[in-house]
Chain A
């Protein structure tokens, strides 16, 4: 449809190698003004490397980039900025103590030595107005929602006259409503003629926003399609290079006796009056928008931030959980949503990470680590979860996101919990690994484990869970059985809309 248009930026034969890994292999790409091009691929496909080359963080080993037909070399992010190439990341990089306007103009150097506040505020307001966003420019960035922080980043890019805007998984941590708002914003940018390169993992979003879809796999350019000319199935096939079923269907496991019962769990100013039970073999989903405090309930059950009121009863025995150590000893494990900061020791080996919570089991009488035993257990998990790594001695940092996620799962499975809490178990991992995680959770439930899945991915929660508990701003809005829960019902509950279908076993 835009075939007669000239691309604003072209990449030709870009290659990049890191040690033994060919991260990018002869990738060529055309980026057109006024168009959203989605860049998709499994983790490790080379998307991040490509955008880092475009923004001057990495230098390519070969190939060339052209802007308006002229060959450019981008040696650092300042130069990228000069060329009008800007990037927005999943985690916005705003300065919390500066206000919105200061953040927008943070990289401007043409203001002279003295800040002209009035002018800056006026221009910030003008830019936000252009984007049709209402945001107080004098408000400090601290306390802005993630979505608002992204808006600030976008405004920053606009203020620098960005012509090529790279958005790296901007929706990963946003709620459905915020995604919708972001897409409206992207639409306005597109109409202004900005070229947008959109990196995403959720295919339905990609199809909603993109005009053109480019698939990378193993560092190679596989295909570029106009998005209305291609199906989800075909794109997935190209991403993984094999057939997968996008939607996972759960087997209904036999439920056993009640594993965990929670009554009136509250934490001052965080969440209040949480009631639920999970049976052996059951998967209980926790749904809700960002800020619904789902994770805080998980943290309370694991003793990281203990609750101040309420009862936690595990297999009929009441627990006082004040620390993760006590939770683990009782049989509750919590897999964090943040695998880089809270889940894994990245520079250390797969084996070390897997045995970390249960290291005492691997010590001999002198307190020394029995490496052989440790290795064989790690080896067992590597096989069982098909963790792709050269050996169990490989540092976790070298693995792809999906494989890191599996190492984290192995770490908690090895602890042999009775209740396993999984917080965003598939965040930021590719379709193939996602399907494997879903399959695994299903198997674990079948083996009689009680599982709590916290997830912002609504279709995922619905397909994985037997029942779904919906939270909104620290309050429990209801528990819905699998057969009565639809995306609409859950969303309505999560947004706190008055409704009549609020049933379930919430007293």
Chain B
């Protein structure tokens, strides 16, 4: 087990090394790359996804999955836009949209924690359901006309050069580190992810922890949907479609085990930086978006393959060593 712990530690070290290489490579491509505005812009392009990635790390470490986050983002954005368009007060629309995100998560959590259905199936179903909801509100139209301050919030700097969503991301990241790595709640998340039955036999209320996690996931996704609406200034039925895969990719690349129980927010933050900078670098190289997505996919496979490959090489090396004379006296028994 210590090998796993060590390789995890070194996994984060590995990610850091990869990140440094990408940064050096990118800055050699274009000097503007290192400018603060480019960095803010690179974060801004995926800001909603990386916010949701933080809570997704909790869910996957807990040995669950939430496929419905992108649909929840779409649903809250759609409800916000629709209510605004229909003339309801914008404040009310914001509250309803956020509340809907919480409810969407609570609904997932109920089936998973209290009925005991697998999260993969439940959130696959609600992924379709919530997306359907968004399309019902939007039909095939696009609604915008948000209040001026809301568009500003999404598109312009708030403190110094930093936009609101980016500040929020930093705050949430710090909060996620504290909660997951240092709090009692975080401890429970790891324990349940490792072995749910041991947790139950230790008097931990496993259901409650799961319900809280999925509700939080819905709430964060709802918030991200609203931020997305503010940044784009208009919402359609397919807003945020397919984001869940990018989000899960970032979390897994960060060293979080798909089987639960291990991984850290530090790793996820590093992998977020890697993905963002790689996309930026590929844009500098004029690679198309589709090609970029392909490269990210290869990266994910490598991230799963590399630790296994290292293990395989170690074993192969040991086998070769065994086949060679060992220096032990060779005694024939007969």
Contacts and interface: CB of A to CB of B under 8 A. Distances in A.
B117 interface: no
B200 A363 contact: no
Contact of B1 (A327, A362, A397): A397
A356 B318 contact: no
Contact of B333 (A10, A334, A344): A10
Interface stretch (A106-114, A346-354, A441-449): A346-354
Interface of A: 7, 10, 12-13, 15, 19, 26, 30, 59-63, 66, 69, 302, 304, 323-325, 327-328, 334, 336, 341-348, 352, 356-357, 359-360, 362-363, 366-369, 395, 397-398, 411
Given A26-B328, A347-B194, A59 B185 contact: no
The 5 A-B pairs at the shortest CB distance, nearest first, are namely: A62-B326, A397-B1, A328-B203, A324-B203, A395-B1
A363 B328 contact: no
Interface stretch (B62-70, B106-114, B156-164, B176-184): B176-184
A264 B191 CA distance: 36
Nearest to B323: A73
B3 A19 contact: yes
A12 B262 contact: no
A10 B261 CA distance: 43
A323 B194 CA distance: 21
Contacts of A15: 326, 328
A203 B319 CA distance: 37
Nearest to B194: A345
B32 interface: no
Contact of B201 (A10, A334, A367): A334
B202 A19 contact: no
A4 to B, nearest CB: 14
Nearest to A363: B184
B2 A59 contact: no
13 contacts: A10-B333, A13-B328, A19-B2, A19-B3, A304-B200, A341-B195, A341-B198, A359-B187, A367-B183, A368-B183, A369-B182, A369-B187, A398-B1
Interface in B165-217: 178, 182-185, 187-188, 190-191, 194-195, 197-205
A59 B318 contact: yes
B200 A324 contact: yes
A345 B195 contact: yes
Nearest to B331: A12
Contacts of A356: 191, 198-199, 202, 204
B321 interface: yes
Contacts of B188: 359
Contacts of B195: 341, 345-346
B92 interface: no
B213 to A, nearest CB: 15
Contact of B328 (A63, A327, A366, A398): A63
B318 A368 contact: no
Contact of A368 (B178, B191, B200): B178
A12 B333 contact: yes
Given A62-B326, A324-B201, A356-B198, 4 more contacts: A12-B333, A59-B319, A367-B185, A395-B5
Contact of B321 (A61, A347, A366): A61
Given A13-B328, A346-B1, A368-B178, A327 B322 contact: no
B290 interface: no
Contacts of B319: 59
Contacts of A62: 322, 326, 328
A225 B82 CA distance: 86
Contacts of A369: 182-184, 187
A369 B178 CA distance: 10
B184 to A, nearest CB: 5
B17 interface: no
Given A19-B2, A59-B322, A347 B201 contact: no
Contacts of A7: 333
Contacts of B141: none
A357 B203 contact: yes
A132 B40 CA distance: 78
B1 A347 contact: yes
Nearest to B198: A345
Interface in B286-334: 318-319, 321-322, 326, 328-329, 331, 333-334
A362 B4 CA distance: 27
